[in-house]
Amino acid sequence: MSKLERDIIAERVKDGLRKAKANGKQLGRPQVRVDKDKIIKFREEKKSIRAIANEMNLSKGTVERTLKMCL
């Protein structure tokens, strides 16, 4: 009985997500806008990843990921 209820709930959630997406609703976390050139410039100036993150108001992981993709 509980499996049937879970399946019904899951189907309703999926239908709701499909409907929201069809109506143009943006789903998921918003993407962070990153100035790659500025990050690379700071890194070439020998700034630490943490200092770059603090200066640009980004997470350390975002800076590391951006540098990994660019270099």
Has residue 71 been placed in a domain?
A: yes
Look at the chain and report how many structural domains it folds into: 1
pTM of the model: 0.64
Comparing C-alpha atoms, which of 34, 29, 31, 37 is closest to residue 60?
Answer: 34
Structural contact between residues 66 and 39, judged by C-beta atoms closer than 8 angstroms? yes
Has residue 17 been placed in a domain?
A: no
Has residue 52 been placed in a domain?
A: yes
Has residue 6 been placed in a domain?
A: no
Length of the chain: 71
Task: Please state, in angstroms and rounded to a whole number, the distance separating the CA atoms of residues 70 and 67.
Answer: 5
Has residue 27 been placed in a domain?
A: no
The band of 71, judged by pLDDT with boundaries at 50, 70 and 90, is confident
Q: Average pLDDT in the 44-68 region?
A: 96
Q: Domain range holding 44? A: 36-71
Give pLDDT tens digits for 6-54: 999 999 999 999 999 999 999 999 988 999 999 999 999 999 999 999 9
Sign of CA dihedral 55, 58, 59, 62: negative
User: Six-digit token pair at 55?
Assistant: 């200066």
Has residue 41 been placed in a domain?
A: yes
